Amino acid sequence: MAKAIENTKSTFPSPRFKPWARFKPWVRKTIIILPVITVAILLIVKYLLPQQSYPSVSKQRKTLKNKPSITPFRVLDSVQIVDDLKFLSGDSCAGRQPGTKGHRLAVNRILMRMRQSALDSFNSSLIQNFEGKIINMSLKGQNIVGWVRGTAHPDKFIVISAHYDHIGKDENGNIFYGASDNASGSACLLALAKHFKQYPHAYSLIFAAFDREESGMEGATYFVENNSSDTLQPKIIFNLNLDMIARGADRELFVSGISHNPSLKYIVDELQQKTNSKILMGHDRGGGYHDWTDKSDHYPFYEKHIPFLYLGTEDHPDYHKTTDSFDKIDLNDYIENCNLAFQMLLAIKL
């Protein structure tokens, strides 16, 4: 027995056999250290680097390249939308700059629509007056704000905002019509108000046509800092801001703000299949020119830690030029975007 064991042993390598001995010391060290380094890198990527809540814009564009078209789902009053878009971006409003007759006409138009829709007002007035910078020898700022009580959560408010002011005329008297910026958002806002007065939302909805965005978000800042009702601000749970929602290239419309509120990504996922617009997530990280976080009226809400989403297109060749006019807008695409804003409001669960 003992001999048999001895024989068996002799067929195996000697106990001193070390398979790794054939490698040079630096190779052996690398083999041991490499998995440790790999695990460390993975942990850093997972827990320490900021997480991207959505793929890059170029990847999204690739995915949406051949997006199948669907039958448009449109409930908003298209006739009213086009009528308001045309009026606000017309000769009479003349660029809607504060302190001008054209601006006053725009205020009257928005007031008329909010009254027609029978929106409720705060403190018995749809107008929230404030003082801003001197523009055309005037300090006067006028937000136009109405609301509709929610059916299930009347004490929680969503603010839907769009600025109606623009930059008037150039030194030669040519009008900056501001059709996309932001007659487009304003006309959409008024149609949303009309619809939700007839068919109220689960949450209370505030419709805010903000003044003086172009001079530094003065109206939105005033609204957020000085709500009409002393107790309102803690109840504002969300802001949907509409600014330049027409003229997206290739039917693109950006939903900006997901980086700040990644839990809202479900809204984009849910709506992508319900619209012919191509919804892109982006322009909400990295700072600088391409980060829109501080570029429109959602910013004062963001500063107060109120979640927001911003709907807007990338700059077009007529941005802040006298050629940003009604005739340049593809009405079919624009109305699709308005109805997309409507569907976003239906999809929101906060």
Q: List interacting residues with Zn ion (CB under 5 A).
A: 181-182, 243
* Shorter beta-carbon distance to Zn ion: residue 218 or 243: 243
- The number of CA neighbours under 13 Å toward the Cβ of 95 is 18
Integer distance in angstroms from the first to the last C-alpha of the chain? 79
Least CB distance to Zn ion at residue 119 (A): 23
Dihedral (CA of 240, 245, 251, 256) sign? negative
Least CB distance to Zn ion at residue 81 (A): 18
* Shorter beta-carbon distance to Zn ion: residue 279 or 311: 311
Q: How far apart are alpha carbons 152 and 189 in whole angstroms?
A: 22
Residue of 187, 193, 184 whose CA lies nearest to 160:
193
* Shorter beta-carbon distance to Zn ion: residue 243 or 252: 243
* Shorter beta-carbon distance to Zn ion: residue 216 or 286: 216
* Shorter beta-carbon distance to Zn ion: residue 109 or 298: 298
Least CB distance to Zn ion at residue 304 (A): 20
Least CB distance to Zn ion at residue 188 (A): 13
Contact 337, 189 (CB under 8 A): no
Least CB distance to Zn ion at residue 120 (A): 27
Instruction: Tell how strand 236-242 and strand 252-256 pair up.
Output: unpaired
* Shorter beta-carbon distance to Zn ion: residue 126 or 244: 244
Residue for token pair 């939308």 = 81
Q: How many CB atoms lie within 10 A of CB 87?
A: 16
> How far from 214 is each of 6, 135, 164, 178, 307, CA to CA, in Å?
94, 11, 10, 11, 22
Q: How many CB atoms lie within 10 A of CB 321?
A: 15
> How far from 247 is each of 97, 192, 319, 333, CA to CA, in Å?
22, 20, 10, 8
Residues in a beta bridge with 191: none
* Shorter beta-carbon distance to Zn ion: residue 213 or 333: 213
Least CB distance to Zn ion at residue 109 (A): 18
Token pair of 142, please?
A: 């006028």
* Shorter beta-carbon distance to Zn ion: residue 324 or 333: 324
Least CB distance to Zn ion at residue 296 (A): 6
Taken as a whole, the chain contains a residue count of 350
Token pair of 330, please?
A: 């593809």
> How far from 81 is each of 78, 87, 317, 337, CA to CA, in Å?
5, 10, 24, 12
Least CB distance to Zn ion at residue 164 (A): 10
Least CB distance to Zn ion at residue 138 (A): 20
* Shorter beta-carbon distance to Zn ion: residue 142 or 182: 182
